[in-house]
Amino acid sequence: MQESIITGEIADQVALRCEELFRQGLFCAESVLQAVAESQNIENDLIPRIATGFCSGVARTSCLCGAASGAFSLSTCSVAATTPRAVWKTITR
C-alpha cells in the first residue's frame, strides 16, 4: 500500500462520510475507520468491526476518543512495514 496523507477536498469528503456513517448508526471509531478506509480503497468486511472496541472512549470507559482511535488504527495501514519495529521506527520519525 502506498503512503498517503488525506488533505483538502478528500479530507472534506472523508469528514462528510464519517458524519453520514455516524448518523446511520456507527460509533465514532467505526465511522472514522470506515470512511478513511473507503477513501484509500480498502475494502474488508472487518471494517468497521475492528474499531468497535474503541468506541465510546475505549469500551465505554470515556478514555481515548473513539474518532482518534479509529484514525490511529488506520494510519498504520499506510506504513509499508513488515515488522512491528519497522512500523514504530516509521511512525516516530
Give a yes or no: residue 18 inside a domain. yes
Q: What is the pLDDT of residue 63?
A: 72
Residue 2 has pLDDT above 60, yes or no: no
The Cα 69–Cα 55 span in angstroms is 8
Q: What is the pTM of this model?
A: 0.67
Domain of 67 in residue numbering reads as 8-91
Cell of 7: 488533505
Give a yes or no: residue 1 inside a domain. no
14, 27, 35 from 18: Cα distances, Å: 6, 10, 6
Q: What is the pLDDT of residues 20-79, one digit of tens each?
A: 999 999 988 889 889 988 988 888 988 888 888 777 766 667 677 777 776 666 666 655
Q: What is the pLDDT of residue 42?
A: 86
Which one, of 53, 10, 41, 82, lies nearest residue 72 by Cα? 53
Give a yes or no: residue 2 inside a domain. no
Q: What is the pLDDT of residues 4-25, one digit of tens each?
A: 567 788 889 989 999 999 999 9
Domain total of the chain: 1
